[in-house]
Amino acid sequence: MALLLRPRFLRDAVAEHAMFRRRALVAFLLAVVAIAILGSRFAWLQIVQHEEYLTRSDDNRIKLRPIVPARGLIYDRSGRLLADNVPAYRLELIREQVTDLEETLRGLGQLLPIGEDELLRFRASWKAERRFQSVPLKFRLSEAEVARFAVNRHRFSGVDVVPYLTRRYPYGDLFGHVIGYVARIDAEDAETLDPARYSGSTHIGKSGIERHYEGRLHGEIGFEHVEVNAEGRTLRVLERTPASSGEHLYLTVDAELQQAAAAAFEGQHGSAVAIDPRNGDVLAMVSLPGFDPNPFVNGIGREEYAALLHSESRPLFHRAVNGGYEPGSTIKPFVALAALELGIRRPEDRVLSTGAYRLPGQGREYRDWRKGGHGYVDLRESLAQSVNTYFYSAAVDMGIDRMSAYMQRFGFGSPTGIDLAGDAAGVLPSREWKQATQGVTWYPGETVISGIGQGFWVTTPLQLAQATSLLAVGGSGFPPRLLRATQHGFDAAVIDEPVRTKVGIAVADLRMRDAVVEGMVAVMHGPTGTARAAAVGAPYLIAGKTGTAQRVGRTGDAAVDLELLPFNLRNRALFIAFAPAYAPTIAVAVVVESGGSGSRAAAPVARRILDAWLLRGIAR
């Protein structure tokens, strides 16, 4: 240390001082240059590039978030809620912020039960989504689960509990087929839908009304500009374009009648459709067994779904619009009207039923259901007793071409155009149809059995109901529909759906229609009527017709669309009716699959439906 403190000698203090000042000045000037460069750098960034960086700063903090519109509600014709939105919570992962997916999933799995199915579905959409979007992992968290996650939330970055509205169907399986259900948007949906309109939407209508009116139920998406921090948490809303919720739908169906119709089957399988013939409103549409749409909304379990899918009784199959049935004798009133209108028969013309009908020059016998026949019968009696011979001969006299052409008026052989997906066309037998589908010419014997609704005939319960409804109003009426009115928002007026064009052709001479109706009334109320047991005690007049279709092996079967094939080989009991007979307000078609005859199995079901509608409000 002493070395450092030694006194100094021989220094030129003045020169040294001057040198210091020069050196200090040089260094300072260099520093000024450096600072000047910095200053110009800031000027460059803050003035020349200001706009660009301002944009990037805003891009950093302002995110555009979609506001999912509330889905429109669905009511029945008198305002009972059929599809509701209820608040729920779901667990979401934000792609950008999840650092280790496997670790996160493991941690979450320890906290909340996450099903195998949920994981599979999650992984599929995790791959598909873009990085800044969130992917739902688990829907409908229970309150306990929400609380458990909230406590542990700090452990999971990029995981959030998000409130949302979930669809609920209060009537469960009663309207499963009609209303259908919404379910998560899958890859297939994503290809067809408008990505802007559905950004933020997780669900879409998959079947039934939910699917057919998806466009009106979904509503219009809204947007909000939110300020987020670097972690992506929303701090405040800067600007908001609210979503406009979907339209509320008022259907034509009546929940009480639907309930009564389902109950009327007493556990049997089958289908029933009830239509108001005055306007085409479908009052009830039942397909049994049904299914509960609720589990589908948030993802049905694979096993549960497989059970529904592979069940013998095919609960997911909508029999009312897709079920193909041979109409059998229920076709007879229409064949009768055809014969009258085409001038082949007059109502009073009598035909001899001997129990067997033969085509000239052919040996094959076409039988009546009563051995030995019904004797001489006019139109009324042949309908009341369902005399086959009368209709064999009527069909043969008309010829298949004229009969087919006439039957088209009642909608046979083409979809009804109802507001549901997958409305089947059925088969109206004709020379052209057979040539086109089987490449074989028409045989005269096929005309004979077509006259009693056998052979190639395939109809859906909805088609039968529509035809019955058209018959009830004289040949020209409104096609069936499910949507009656809509409403934009809860306070808005309920707006009726526009009037549609009528279908069918009005019967030229209403007396002919009346003659057929008289025959159908005799089915129910006449002393010989096949379904007179089902009309006992009815305080109103019913016009009806029974039908029993037998599943017998026929060459024609192979060509029928597989979707339209009945499920098994048992007899089908059918019944069509409308009431009150001379001022009809309801027309029904009933198919009971569990066998038996139309009169014994199907007519009582129809009677219960008619009672439920016509006697509603009247104590029984």
Partner 1 sequence: MSIASLLLDLAKRLLAPRVDVPLLIGLLMLLAAGLLILYSAAGGVPLVVSQGARVGAGLAAMWLISRVPPLQLRIWTPWLYAASLTLLLVVPVFGTGRSGRHWLDLGFFFLQPAELLKLTVPMMVAAYLHRETRAPGWTALLVCAVFVGIPTALIAIQPDLGTALLVAASGVFVIFLAGIAWWRVALLGTLALLIAPFGWFGLREYQRARLITFLDPEADRLGTGWNIIQSKIAVGSGGLFGKGWGEGTQSRLDFLPEHTTDFIVAVFAEEFGLIGILLLLALCLLIAARTLWIAAEARDVFARLVAGALGLTFLVYVVVNVGMVSGLLPVVGVPMPLLSYGGTSAVTLLAGFGIVMSVHSHRKLLK
Q: In angstroms, what is the minimal distance from the CB of 132 to partner 1?
A: 13
Single out the segment in contact with partner 1 by CB under 8 A; choices: 53-61, 277-285, 302-310, 399-407: 53-61
Q: Residues 565-572: contacts with CB within 8 Å, 24+ apart?
A: 565/324, 566/323, 566/324, 566/325, 566/326, 566/593, 567/312, 567/313, 567/314, 567/317, 567/593, 568/312, 568/593, 570/594, 570/595, 571/595, 571/596, 571/597, 572/325, 572/326, 572/328, 572/547, 572/548
Residue placing its CB nearer to partner 1 in the complex, 20 or 132? 20
Task: Find the binder of partner 1 among 27, 86, 309, 583 (CB under 8 A).
Answer: 27
19 near partner 1, judged by CB under 8 A: yes
550 near partner 1, judged by CB under 8 A: no
Residue placing its CB nearer to partner 1 in the complex, 43 or 120? 43
21 near partner 1, judged by CB under 8 A: yes
Tokens in use for 281?
A: 């409103």
Distance separating alpha carbons of residues 616 and 284, to the nearest angstrom: 14
Task: Find the binder of partner 1 among 186, 227, 397, 514 (CB under 8 A).
Answer: 227
Distance separating alpha carbons of residues 145 and 141, to the nearest angstrom: 6
23 near partner 1, judged by CB under 8 A: yes
Single out the segment in contact with partner 1 by CB under 8 A; choices: 15-23, 148-156, 521-529, 537-545: 15-23
Residue placing its CB nearer to partner 1 in the complex, 227 or 497? 227
Count of residues near partner 1 by CB under 8 A: 48
Distance separating alpha carbons of residues 230 and 219, to the nearest angstrom: 32
Residue placing its CB nearer to partner 1 in the complex, 17 or 511? 17
Residue placing its CB nearer to partner 1 in the complex, 230 or 536? 230
Distance separating alpha carbons of residues 529 and 384, to the nearest angstrom: 5
Q: Contact 134/60 with Cβ under 8 angstroms?
A: no
619 near partner 1, judged by CB under 8 A: no
Residue placing its CB nearer to partner 1 in the complex, 19 or 569? 19
Q: In angstroms, what is the minimal distance from the CB of 33 to partner 1?
A: 10
Site string for partner 1, 55-74 (x = CB under 8 A): -xxx-xx-------------
* Contacts for 31 with CB less than 8 Å, ≥ 6 apart: none
Q: Contact 104/256 with Cβ under 8 angstroms?
A: no
Residue placing its CB nearer to partner 1 in the complex, 41 or 511? 41
The DSSP-derived string for 470-527 is HHHTTSEEPPPBSEEEEESSTTSPEEEPPPPPPEE---SSHHHHHHHHHHHHHHHHST
Residue placing its CB nearer to partner 1 in the complex, 98 or 581? 98
237 near partner 1, judged by CB under 8 A: no
Q: Contact 134/95 with Cβ under 8 angstroms?
A: yes
Q: In angstroms, what is the minimal distance from the CB of 126 to partner 1?
A: 20
Site for partner 1 in 322-381 (CB under 8 A): none
35 near partner 1, judged by CB under 8 A: yes
Residue placing its CB nearer to partner 1 in the complex, 226 or 255? 226
Site for partner 1 in 187-216 (CB under 8 A): none
- Whether 469 sits among the annotated catalytic residues: the reply is no
443 near partner 1, judged by CB under 8 A: no
Distance separating alpha carbons of residues 485 and 497, to the nearest angstrom: 5
Tokens in use for 527?
A: 């002393």
Alpha helices in 62-153 (DSSP H): 101-111, 116-128, 143-152
Task: Find the binder of partner 1 among 74, 169, 231, 586 (CB under 8 A).
Answer: 231
Q: Contact 474/410 with Cβ under 8 angstroms?
A: no
Closest CA to 344 of 451, 422, 265, 444: 451
Phi-psi map region of 97: left, alpha, beta (phi>0 left; psi -120 to 50 alpha)? alpha
499 near partner 1, judged by CB under 8 A: no
Q: H or E stretch including 87?
A: strand 81-94
Q: Contact 381/527 with Cβ under 8 angstroms?
A: no
1 near partner 1, judged by CB under 8 A: yes
230 near partner 1, judged by CB under 8 A: yes
229 near partner 1, judged by CB under 8 A: yes
Task: Find the binder of partner 1 among 34, 64, 309, 492 (CB under 8 A).
Answer: 34
Distance separating alpha carbons of residues 317 and 331, to the nearest angstrom: 24
Q: In angstroms, what is the minimal distance from the CB of 479 to partner 1?
A: 59
Which entry of 329, 353, 450, 599 is annotated as an active-site residue? Answer: 329
235 near partner 1, judged by CB under 8 A: yes
What is each CA distance from 130 to 87, 94, 370, 470, in whole angstroms? 27, 10, 72, 53
Q: In angstroms, what is the minimal distance from the CB of 153 to partner 1?
A: 18
CA angle 32, 36, 41 (to 5 degrees): 150
Distance separating alpha carbons of residues 434 and 436, to the nearest angstrom: 5
Residue placing its CB nearer to partner 1 in the complex, 32 or 307? 32
Task: Find the binder of partner 1 among 70, 146, 228, 359 (CB under 8 A).
Answer: 228
130 near partner 1, judged by CB under 8 A: no
Q: Contact 328/450 with Cβ under 8 angstroms?
A: no
Task: List residues binding partner 1 (CB under 8 A).
Answer: 1, 3-6, 8-11, 13, 16-17, 19-21, 23-24, 27-28, 31-32, 34-35, 37-39, 41-43, 45-47, 49-50, 52-54, 56-58, 60-61, 227-231, 235
Catalytic residues: 329
